[in-house]
Structure 1
Amino acid sequence: MKKLVLVSIIGLVLSGCGGGSSNGNTNPQPETKPQDVQGTIESVDAASKQITVNGYHYDVASVMYGSNALSITDLEKNMMVQVFSGAKSGVQVQVEPTIVGMVTDINHTANTFTVNGIELVFAGLHADIEINDWVMVSSLPTATAGYKVLSVVEFEADQLGNTVEVEGRLSNLDINRNTFNLGASLTVNYTSGVIEDGATLANGQWVEVTGDMAGFDLNATEIEVEDFDGLSDGNEVEGVITWVAADTSAFELSYRGRFYVDSNTRFEDGTKSQLTQGRVVEVKSVKQGTQQVAIEVEFDDDYNDQGQWNEFELEGMVSAVDTAANTFVLGSKTIMIDANTVFEGGVTLDTLTQQRIEVDGVIMDKDYVAREIEADND
């Protein structure tokens, strides 16, 4: 599904609400409410046509899932949405689920269910959801690139365009067979013609795939690479921290891309030292050159439980490089390079052989995935 273009931010003054604190000011100033927010719904008031997202209240003019019109009565707490200025009398809400499809297996005792071949766990599963029902699942990424379910909402198939959807971290890309995996095991079949904006697929990207299920495989009709490159200044994005630089100068959010931290970055309900994997945060940022720089980071403790997170830092001499597989060997470890790996100081994969380097990254399912690589000049 083609994402709606993010709009320019025009401050809208709102007194007495919002996600930030006054930092002890005796006469707090009215807070500027962002008009471009990506996050989870905290509450829905259908009677007044109002929702709360990231602590901000918005009057709703319309609700959409792609090109399909929905109603505010379809919205529920903890659904992932994008709110943006789209009407004079209120905002447009674009529903942004992680998974859409038909339930093929369910166990209400164990709180497990399967959609699009992906087994999920959710303690809040509605008792009336059954096999063959269509559902919309909102979630956060986990330490293993799986799914921490936040909400499951039942819909009629035609409300969702009779099309399945899965978002996730791309892995095991095979450009010869035109296949890749999402999550732990879902196989996606695609052709180059379904990739939006002429993007080049790569392992480690966060992608949104729509299409149809063929057995246990997903045949893609559209693939969109999700990142933060198109964010407009003053936006606010909610997500889970999936990596933090050793010097806390940058962090990655929800496997989609990184935000940089500078001396002007403000922190709400926490400090810079609390930037750690697994923390859920709301980030306001601006574009400076090619970097998305965080101007405010607010910590949210509601969903800080997505499994065992692990990072690594290594240094030493590279003994072998496999440019075809995008891996190299450092000591006893085979290090993987993906779409979010950043090389610094002129280092490239082709120049790593017999070079002494420093590398830090994340561990996912026992795989060591590099996030930053630089020459060790010491």
Structure 2
Amino acid sequence: MKRYAFLSMVTFALFGCGGSDGGSDSSAQAAPSAIEGTIDSVSATTVTVNGYTYQATSASFQGQTFDQDMLTLEPNMMVKVSNQSRATNSSVELEPTFIGQIENINRLNSTFSITGVNLKFPRLSTTIANKDWVMVSSMPTANAGYKVLSVVKFLQDPLDGEMVAEGRVSALDMNSQSFKIGQSLTISFDPQIVEDKRTLADGMWVEVQGQYDESNGELISSRITIKTYNDFPNDGEIEGIVTWVAKDKSEFELNYRSRIAVRSTTEFDDGNKNNLVAGALVEVEIGNQGNAVYAKEIEFEDDLDIDWEQFEFGEEGRISNIGDVKEFVEITNRKDKKTIIFVDANTEYEDFKDLGALNIDECIEVEGIIIDGKHIAREISLEDDCDD
């Protein structure tokens, strides 16, 4: 396999070859309209993502353009390949988790940090040194961490001193105009720089670009993009980690970003519906019907993060307290165990709007996940009575 050095952040002109057979018009028609996933392999003229090979002449990231040989594409880098017309005009974009200067490299422990976030990667290249600019690709883990897939070196500062970090919003404080992503990185922001002037909320997955203030350990944002799959092209394909599954398997959450419905017509490859569990690595062919995102096909990969099970929960109990700002509810189950349940942007409510519609002593059933020690609801339903 030959690594291909090409533009790291320019517009791609690609030609879908469809799997490894490549080249013919008929195979090009088989390629999904868009793919987001990790690079399988690269050559002097092609890049292969999720088994589909494209001829590549350029790349893009947030409209930034760089000189050739700025970055060497490598397997396991996260990218998005678009081919809206399934013809000759396509684009490939880099999808980094972090872009920044690498610090605190400890080769004995396989650790390093970027923007103050501690990461682990046993295969860090010996050519990478502290203060080098790198791009990190990763998958989310069960407890607000990152599973690093690749670390690739830029030959120079790619973003005029700015850095990029991606993660789940938590501890949002509109008064101080700050929040955290991951377990530790503080973001300061002006609401006006959020893409499309959208309102931030805990639980959203965001990409933040800005200047890192090392003295205060915070990223001062110049751009914030909220990332979901709700507008992903119909017939697109996404690789990722299942981060939550409904008890009845009717829907699941992918990469903490969006819910995807499972229909009776959903097909399964290398597994079945029983394999749809939190922590499963999957490739999902997306359908988009109105505002509904659903899975046409789910293909299971070999990897499985077995730690996810301990971060799922289901609880039923009577409401003993409701937070003043309707961000949490405390319930007491039949064994007098009290649990504080938080809600976020991805919580769904059955037959009511939000926590403001609930009352003390009512019975609710909750399905959710545990992130950074907090029980966070994914579904809340009002029950007639608790099991006494």
- TM-score (normalizing by structure 1): 0.89
C-alpha displacement at 1:355, in angstroms?
1.7
- In the TM superposition, 1:1-378 aligns within 5 A as 14=18, 32-45=30-43, 47=44, 49-69=45-65, 71=68, 74-85=72-83, 89=88, 91-215=90-214, 216-302=217-303, 304-305=304-305, 307-309=307-309, 310-324=311-325, 326-331=327-332, 332-346=338-352, 348-353=354-359, 354-377=361-384
What is the aligned partner in structure 1 of residue 6 from structure 2? none
- CA distance in structure 2 between the aligned counterparts of 1:132 and 1:64, rounded to whole angstroms: 24
Report the CA distance shift for 1:81/1:30 in structure 2 as closer, same or farther (over 3 A): closer
- In 1, the alpha carbon distance for the partners of 2:89 and 2:46 equals 9
Q: Report the Cα distance in structure 1 between the residues aligned to 2:377 and 2:193, rounded to whole angstroms.
A: 29
Give, in whole Å, the separation in 2 of the partners of 1:130 and 1:64: 25
Deviates more, 1:335-344 or 1:88-97: 88-97
Q: Distance in 2 between matches of 1:366 and 1:15?
A: 42
Question: How far apart in 2 are the matches of 1:261 and 1:114?
Answer: 38
Q: CA deviation at 1:89?
A: 4.6
Q: Do the aligned partners of residues 64 and 12 (structure 1) sit closer, same or farther apart at CA in structure 2, a change above 3 Å counting?
A: closer
Alpha-carbon separation, structure 2, partners of 1:160 and 1:80? 18
- The answer to whether the 8 A contact 1:164-1:212 is kept is yes
Change (3 A) 1:157 1:175: farther
Pick closer, same or farther for the CA change 1:117–1:325 going to 2, 3 Å.
farther
Aligned to 1:259, the other structure's residue is in SS state strand
Deviation readout 1:255-304 (Å, 9 max, x if unpaired): 101000010001111111111111111111222332201111111124x3
Q: Percent identity?
A: 40
Greater alpha carbon shift after TM alignment, 339-348 vs 165-174? 339-348
Other structure's SS at 1:69 match: coil
Q: Whole-Å Cα distance in 1 between the matches of residues 29 and 381 of structure 2?
A: 41
Contact 1:68–1:161 (Cα < 8 Å) also in 2: no
* Deviation at residue 15 of structure 1 after TM alignment: 7.1
Taking a change above 3 Å as real, the CA distance of residues 13 and 188 of structure 1, as seen in their structure-2 partners, is: closer
CA separation of 1:61/1:173 partners in 2, compared to 1, >3 Å: closer, same or farther? same
Aligned residue identity for 2:347: T
What is the SS of the residue equivalent to 1:273? helix
Q: Secondary structure at the match of 2:196?
A: helix
Distance in 1 (alpha carbons) for counterparts of 2:180 and 2:237: 29
Contact 2:33 2:234 in 1 (8 A): no
Q: Deviation of residue 307 (structure 1)?
A: 4.1
Cα distance in 2 for partners of 1:189, 1:366 equals: 23
5+ unaligned residues in a row in structure 2: which ranges? 1-8, 333-337
CA distance in 2, matches of 1:15, 1:105: 40
Distance 1:32 1:203, change over 3 A: same
CA deviations over 1:182-225 (Å, ceiling 9, x no partner): 11111101111211101110001000000001121100000111
Distance 2:237 2:384 in 1: 38
Amino acid at match of 1:358: E
Which has the larger displacement, 150-159 or 333-342? 150-159
Counterpart CA distance in 2 for 1:289 and 1:114 is: 42
- Deviation, structure 1 residue 325: 5.4
Is the contact between residue 19 and residue 53 of structure 2 (CA under 8 Å) also seen in structure 1? no
Aligned-pair CA distance for 1:64? 1.7
Moved more, 359-368 or 132-141: 359-368
Q: Secondary structure at the match of 1:261?
A: strand
Once the two structures are superposed, residues 220-246 of structure 1 have per-residue CA deviations (whole angstroms, 9 ceiling, x without a partner) of 000111111211210111110000000
TM-score by length of 2: 0.86
Q: For residues 117-161 of structure 1, give each alpha carbon's deviation from its aligned partner in whole angstroms, at most 9, with x where no partner exists.
A: 001000110112111111100000000111000000010343344
CA positional deviation for 1:84 = 1.1
Q: Secondary structure at the match of 2:364?
A: strand
User: For the structure 1 residues 366 and 15, does the alpha-carbon distance in structure 2 shift closer, same or farther, using more than 3 Å as the test?
Assistant: closer
